[in-house]
Amino acid sequence: MNIVVIDYGAGNVKSVQFALERLGYEAVCSNDPQVIINADKVIFPGVGEAKSAMKEIKKYGLEKVIPALKQPVLGICLGMQLMCEHSEENDTDCLGIFPIEVKKFQVDLKVPHIGWNQIIDLKGHLFDKVEASSYVYYVHSYYVPENEFSIANTDYGIKYSGAIKKDNFYACQFHPEKSGDIGEQILKNFIKAV
Q: Distance between CA 118 and CA 155 in Å, rounded?
A: 8
Tell me which residues of the chain have a pLDDT lower than 50: none
pLDDT on residue 99: 98
177 catalytic? Reply is yes
Query: Which residue out of 26, 88, 177, 184 is catalytically annotated?
Result: 177
- What's the pLDDT tens digit per position in 73-129? 999 999 999 999 999 999 999 999 999 999 999 999 999 999 999 999 999 999 999
175 catalytic? Reply is yes
Write down all domains in the chain, each with its CATH number in brackets: 3-91+100-191 (3.40.50.880)
Return the amino acid letter for 148.
E
pLDDT on residue 12: 79
Query: Which residue out of 77, 84, 94, 172 is catalytically annotated?
Result: 77
